[in-house]
Amino acid sequence: MAFDSQRVYAVWMRLINDEALFRALLAGTHRELAASRGFDSEELAILDHFQQEPGTRWNIENLRFRSALETADTLRSYLPMTVRLLTRDDSDWLQDVSFEYLAYHDWRAFGHLRLSECQRFGEYVRERIMKRRIAPAHLEPVLSFELAVVDLLKSTSGIGAGEWPAGGSLTDGQLTEARPRRSPALKMVELPVDIREWVISGDPTQGTVHERPVTFMVHVPSLQETHRVKAIGDGVREILGRCEGDRTVAAIVAELETEFDVAGASVVRLISQWVTERVVSV
């Protein structure tokens, strides 16, 4: 019996996504369950064909195994510290976590949308894993930091070509009259504990977490460069917070000298550095 290829593919995908149906198919009891799920006569016949094929079980389990492997690689790339804390750097454990995560989402992986996959996995960690086991120390701030970086990277898709800071350098006169604006590819990440040693090493087994708040400035200079991370203090935050494009560097310096009695020259040097590093545009 010949079947329409699109219908065969649709049934195949439903079989992959539906764990109960897959198990019923292996047991040969799939017809009643499939009918209760709205399968018509042709779809039931396609299921019968799959049930008779000796390679069906292997093909589906192999697809799931490979999907979990690919997902694990994605998580290891974009959420490395979170993964190490969750699995104690055990690759087999990561494979198991990835498998269960995809099973929970009916094997609907995001594929090449890797940043979206990481965002959904972050929700899974908070809503599932952290609700049923004791979380490793500092897992939440680590996850918050790494998801903030993921969010920033994902946001760059909406930044127009003309919105990126140009970089370069300005003369003292040009800089004084410039109106600095924070890059759209910049995020401030505030955490209740200081994990900068972990961030520097990229490894939560290397370095010490300090019980004090920390703020990270994370920015992407351009689409050709990776993101950069720097821990900053209150003074730097104050200066950066005033770079909104609505006032000149001279005005910002005057405000800070009046309010905080800071040296204007140091403010100018810092903003000049930010222009070069493309933290701000002018």
Q: What residues have CB less than 8 Å from 161, skipping those under 6 apart?
A: none
Is position 65 within any domain? no
Looking at 95, 120, 136, the residue that finishes a domain is: 136
Judgement on whether residues 222 and 191 belong to the same structural domain of the protein: yes
Please check whether residues 87 and 40 belong to one and the same domain. Answer: no
Closest CA to 75 of 38, 10, 33, 122: 122
172 and 252, same domain (yes or no): yes
What pLDDT shows up at residue 2? Answer: 81
Quick check: is 131 in a domain? yes
User: Does 189 lie in the same domain as 109?
Assistant: no
Q: What is the dihedral of CA 269, 272, 278, 280, to 10 degrees?
A: 90
For residue 216, report the phi and psi dihedrals to the nearest 5 degrees: -105, 135
Domain boundary among 136, 168, 183: 136
Is 152 part of a structural domain of the chain?
Answer: no
Both 164 and 274 in one domain: the answer is yes
Q: Give the pLDDT confidence score for residue 170 in this predicted structure.
A: 87
Q: Are residues 110 and 46 in the same domain?
A: no
61 located within any domain: no
**Whether residues 228 and 261 fall in one domain:** yes
- Residue 185 within any structural domain of the chain: yes
Write down the pLDDT at residue 1: 67
pLDDT at 133: 87
Same domain, yes or no: 91 and 27:
no
Domain residues for 120?
72-136
CA distance 134 to 140: 12
The total of structural domains in the chain comes to 3
User: Beta partners for 222?
Assistant: none
195 shares a domain with 118: no
Element (H, E) at 249: helix 249-260
Predicted pLDDT at 200:
93
Q: Is residue 153 part of a domain?
A: no
Instruction: Please state the pTM of the whole predicted model.
Output: 0.89
Q: What are phi and psi of 269, to 5 degrees?
A: -60, -40
In this structure, is residue 58 part of a structural domain? no
Instruction: Pick out the chain residues at pLDDT < 50.
Output: none
Neighbours of 68 (CB within 10 A): 22
Q: Does one domain contain both 267 and 189?
A: yes
Q: Is residue 150 one of the residues assigned to a domain? A: no
CATH of the domain at 164: 3.90.930.50
**In contact, 272 and 162? CB cutoff 8 Å:** no
Residues 117 and 188 in one domain: no
How far is 44 from 34, CA to CA, in rounded Å?
7
Residues 226 and 175 occupy one common structural domain: yes
CA distances from 114 to 42, 54, 94 (A): 36, 33, 17
Please state, in angstroms and rounded to a whole number, the distance separating the CA atoms of residues 43 and 47: 6
